[in-house]
Structure 1
Amino acid sequence: MNGKSVLMVTFEATPFVKVGGLAEVPSNLARYLSSLGWRSLVALPSHAPTGSRGEKIIDSFTTPMGEVFVGIGTWYNVTFLLFSGSVLSNSAVYSEDVMESKVKLFATSLSIFLSRADELLGGFPNIIHFHDWHSVYSLIKLKHDFPSGKWYSAFHIHLLVKRRIKPEIFPELGVPLDWVHEIRIDGRKETYTLEEALARSNFIAEKVGAYEADRLITVSKAYLHDEVLPFLGHGFSEKSRVIYNATDWTFENAKAEVLREHGNNIIDFSGETNLNRRLDLRKYFLLRGIASLRSEEPVIPDERIKKIIQDISLPPLRENGKPEPFLFDGPLAITTGRLARQKGFDLMVEAVPRVLRELGNAKFVFLVLPVWGGEDYIYQLADLQRSYPENVRVIYGVAPSIYKLAHLASDVFFAPSRWEPFGIMALEAMATGNPLVASRTGGLKEIVLDVNDHGDKGTGLLVPPGDPYELGEALRDMLAFMEASNTGNLGWYLKKIGNEKLVRLLEEYPDAGEILRKNCIERVEKYFSWSASAATASAIYGELLKG
């Protein structure tokens, strides 16, 4: 492969497979790296029947685990290699029932395919960038099968899950435990057998990846220093780098998309032809738009989860998981993300009642992706919306037709994560002008500028992770603050706000809510673009290519 080339290895990637924020990273890095002169490829399991994602089949082969097909798809200037067949076509992306089989077959298949890279790709990639623990088996398999010096590796930790590696899998992959090879630690190269390297890593996937890769990458400085290095060991500091996640969302593009999709309906609903007022968008979203999902929405890929949602579809949740509209308008807070303990949505079970005691007209909309293993959170949020049908709606699954509408209609975005390596959802919220109430953890504390510290330059409020009481008070304060600014009714809402900084801001600037919205938009545009992140990645790859 002539020139500079990079292959991303991942379990999910936009636009083909998306479960969480990880999907955005390999695809968008690859997209913007291509504009910097890199030939960019992304390899992933299809998690779908062969050909069903529109890929063109270019290779097939038989493995001990079944027949595998490799298809090519494209997105912008990026080539996607989708591996399907056997367990790789199972739609459950992260189900424990198939996880071990998937990572094994993917690693084997990737190696077989790359053995013909000269023929199929025009050459072997210069850089292979492995994303999260699912790719560690592939990292070791490729490192064993292809000579060192031909290519360089980067291992990217998006979320530290401390997954245990099974040593017996490697001989099944054709990698003997007595394989002798080099690893890099404390700035020097050392020679180990694979068995010794695994033991030194305590058989933890992320530690194995950190030892074996030429570079260790994660998503924020806070996450690197607060979580990753304390767990892996500070001997990895020398090889560690940070690539911020990013977003390609802009306020104007989001608004244009929403008006294309909903503009006529908003005009019919409101009677207004000037659609620049967010309050009009909010009222439309709450009273009509939220219930106008397309027939196939919300999309839930996992059939087992879909059955659970159907079973709990009682008002205000209609059949097939479609929500009923609200009856009345009110200050709106939204959130997005996977239904997992990490995201802290269960904390809202206690936080919401605290808000409603002071702000009875507040609305909360959860746009969440239910995943296997998070069934308890499905039931908890279902109980919450049944307890507060005038205030809470939960959309379980992907609903593209209203996703950006919800962001433009919202007053506040809440991110109650117990831990959050980065938080792309926070960037999407800020790009659409939403101040955040977020946990002071990981990347969130780098993204959000706390009003308590930054005053009128702030972009939200930070609260201690895992504390529903602080979370509820901050949400009450920020919703009241934004509604006071929206309506000009300072007298009513000021007495609802306990945060003195917010009170003083409103007293000094009656339009302080708009100031915070502007701060949010400008911060994302300046610091969290994919072009900037791709430039960082390119520089890291350049270090490796120089040797």
Structure 2
Amino acid sequence: MPAANPKIPSKSSLRSSSRPVSTIWMFSHECAGIAQAGGLGEAVAGLSKTLALDSKLDVSVFLPSHGRHLDPGIREAYGLQDLPTFIAQGYRRGSNGLWYNYLAGMEKGSREGVNYFLAKGLDSATGKWLDDPVIYDHEATFEKMSLLARTLESYVEYLIAMGRERELPGLIHAHDWHMVPAGVLVKQRLRERGVVVPLVFTVHLLSGVALSWHYASEDWCGIRDAPYSLRTNGKRGSTLRYSQIWRDLSRNSLEKFGCYIADYVTSVSHAYLTNDVRNYVGDIIRGKSGHIYNGCDWNPATIESSIISDEFEETEPSLVDHPIKRWDLREHLLTKAISKIGEKSVAEDPSGHHEDSRREVEPVEAFRSDGPLVLMTGRLSPQKGVDLLLDAVPIVRSVISETKFLLFLLPSNDSDLTKRTLEKAHKYPDNIRVIFGRNPSIYLLSHLSADVYAMPSRSEPFGISALEAMVTGNPVVGTSVGGITETVVDISTSGESGTGILVPPENVAKLADSLVSLLTIMQLDELSQHGKEDRAVASRKIPLPPIAKMIFENRNLGSKLRENCRDRVLKKFRWTNAGQMAIKRYSEARLLAAKTLQK
């Protein structure tokens, strides 16, 4: 308990009850706009914003500061201010038997209807961890998780002691395994005070991380080894201590433990939840699980207007005098714009180093000529399948020699993987550019310029990048795994209402055939808009027979696919859609949590 905080009322002073779901506390290790290393941060920010603005809920996001409260730009953008009357103070007992003091505080700000709380160190020992700018680093990550849990425990006690119970959460939404200790601890403390608050746990990407009970326990993260009544399929089951659930049932897995204690478990797609997550955690989520899609709020018209203003009005004003076509954007991107990437870009560290510590990007050589463009974005990791796309390049190139491949990748800590990737890419200097960095303007321009988007992932919980591709008019060639099967509609089976092609995972030949088929569709459509016909393209053998038939019947199929892509995202995958799904899950969680009051 923080020494400087007022005395906490006894349990009897708080009536045992469940609270309405109008105040949401989001727990996350990262959040776009403040500290982000991947898609998790985008998901938390997008969902929080729509719940606050569209659903009019009181939403607060809690995360470690990662030192971002020291950034003047972030302080101003979020109006960050220190909470002067709040201190989290105490000690943790290590597995070595030594005691470690901590002294933490919080910065509070708000933006676009959402409140943000950043846990920070108030002494050097605590600040060493909470304020470390590296978002993901093995030792620092676990320290941040523990100290955030302790800080939130103290904040709950502080609000109760100050008579500000109305500010307590009506629901806790813990995002990914990093937030299991904080989510369980706050739920436990509130229950001890007679307040039943539903805990929703979202698995964004399975990690399989396992730690000893000591880490979660009252010695370190703060979870008391109290009795807990398990419920299966909504029915009361056995009563076990938290340590038993951790060790015996969860086998030390943070994700399994989170699924046992949470009132409701979600993931970002139905396929990932029912296949990957359930296969890992077992039937413990049966009767208390559902999916909440991610979303994409990109506005293609706004992006295009901004890109034209940034890229063309000064350098090529003659193009602005007539409607700029997609092929104009592509030629400018490939033969001119990408050469500017090294001037303003920074290479983003995969562990999430703050911008000031990022290294500059190597200059990128522009292509000597235009050509049909395949775009890929994402982390350089085996999961994303960059190697599979590079293996498909010579096959595609043998059919459409002028094809360009533009890969925007977040770099990897695996130097061997980086080396192998670059070695493969350098074999085709006329066809491939790999870019470790993300100049925002060029990144968006690439989406407006591409013909096809490649997503050869070996696994994919959801894949926001597919939405970004489709909303900017790019049909997707993606593997039939996880969330990709729910965002991409396969034209091979759905005909002209499709948005791309699904291929079996790790099948390079099918990946290449699908790229050739879609590229041909887009080339024929472009030629038709030009009022031209290229016999070489027109006579090209399409590897996929169903698609060959569609092309024969409709030379403008490419435009139809682009329209389908945009419409699918705009109608089904905006953040407002995700917010509505979340509210439904929250209601289910509240009903399940309320059953804990029943004897």
* 2:96 counterpart residue number: none
Deviation (angstroms), 1:471: 1.4
Deviation track 1:439-488 (CA, whole Å, cap 9, x = no partner) reads: 00011011111111011111111111122222122222222221222123
List aligned pairs for 1:463-542, cutoff 5 A.
463-488=503-528, 489=533, 491-494=535-538, 495-542=540-587
Q: Tell me whether 420-429 or 79-88 shows the greater mean CA deviation.
A: 79-88
State the SS of the aligned residue for 1:248.
Answer: coil
Partner in structure 2 of residue 432 of structure 1 = 472
Structure 1 vs Structure 2 CA RMSD: 2.6
Question: Offset at 1:123?
Answer: 1.5
Distance in 1 of aligned mates of 2:236 and 2:412 = 40
Aligned counterpart in structure 2 of residue 157 of structure 1, from 203, 207, 217: 203
Distance in structure 1 (CA, Å) of the matches to 2:351 and 2:209: 26
Any idea what SS the aligned residue of 1:442 has? coil
Match of 2:104 in 1: 68
1:333/1:364 contact within 8 Å kept = yes
Aligned residues of 1:177 and 1:193 also touching (Cα < 8 A):
no
SS of equivalent to 1:395: strand
Q: Which moved more, 1:445-454 or 1:195-204?
A: 195-204
Cross-structure match for 1:400: 440
Match of 1:131 in 2: 175
Which one is further off, 249-258 or 526-535? 249-258
2:229 to 182, 189, 192: 182
Structure 2 unaligned blocks of 5 or more: 1-18, 91-99, 121-126, 595-599
Please give the alpha-carbon distance, in whole angstroms, between the structure 2 residues aligned to 1:127 and 1:260.
44
Give SS of 1:417's match.
Answer: coil
Deviates more, 1:347-356 or 1:536-545: 536-545
Please state whether the residue corresponding to 1:164 is helix, strand or coil.
coil
Contact kept? 1:254, 1:432, Cα under 8 Å? no
Unaligned runs of 5+ in 1: 311-318
2:326 matches 1:281: no
Alignment of 1:437-452 (within 5 A): 437-452=477-492
**Aligned-partner SS, 1:292:** helix
Q: Percent identity?
A: 30
1:110 CA displacement: 2.1
Question: 2:352 & 2:557 partners in 1: Cα distance?
Answer: 46
1:95-110 to 2 correspondences below 5 Å: 95-110=137-152
- Structure 1 residue 284: deviation in Å? 0.7
Q: Is the 8 A contact 1:7 1:125 kept in 2?
A: yes
Q: What pairs with 1:275-424 in structure 2 (closer than 5 Å)?
A: 275-293=323-341, 295-301=343-349, 320-372=361-413, 374-424=414-464
* Residue in structure 1 matched with residue 130 of structure 2 by the alignment: 88
Contact conserved, 1:435 with 1:517, CA < 8 A, in 2?
yes
Paired residues of 1:322 and 1:395 also in contact (CA < 8 A): no
Q: CA deviation at 1:376?
A: 3.2
Q: How far did residue 73 of structure 1 move?
A: 2.9
**Shift, 1:177, TM fit:** 6.6
Q: 1:449 is paired with a residue of what secondary structure?
A: coil
C-alpha distance in 1, partners of 2:316/2:572?
Answer: 35
Contact 1:294-1:401 at 8 Å conserved across structures? no
Amino acid at match of 2:206: L
SS for the counterpart of 1:333 is: strand
**Is 1:43 the equivalent of 2:84?**
no
How far apart are the structure 2 equivalents of 1:534 and 1:400? 26
Q: Shift in Å at residue 169 of structure 1?
A: 0.7
Corresponding position: 1:203 with 2:222: no
Check conservation: 2:346, 2:358, Cα contact below 8 A.
no
CA contact (8 A) 1:177 1:194 kept: yes
**SS of 1:37 mapped into structure 2:** coil
Give matches, 1:209-224, under 5 Å.
209-224=258-273
Q: Quote the Cα distance in structure 1 between the aligned partners of 2:358 and 2:423.
A: 13
Aligned pairs, how many? 537
- In the alignment, the residues of structure 2 paired with residue 379 and residue 17 of structure 1 have an alpha-carbon distance, to the nearest angstrom, of 28
Give a deviation string over 1:388-428, Cα, whole Å, max 9, x none: 12111112133212221110011111111101011111011
Structure number, greater radius of gyration? 2
Taking the aligned partners of 1:73 and 1:351, their CA distance within structure 2 comes to 47
Contact 1:91–1:302 (Cα < 8 Å) also in 2: no
Partner Cα distance (1:522, 1:174) in 2 = 46
TM-score by length of 1: 0.92
Q: Which moves more between the two structures, 323-332 or 97-106?
A: 97-106
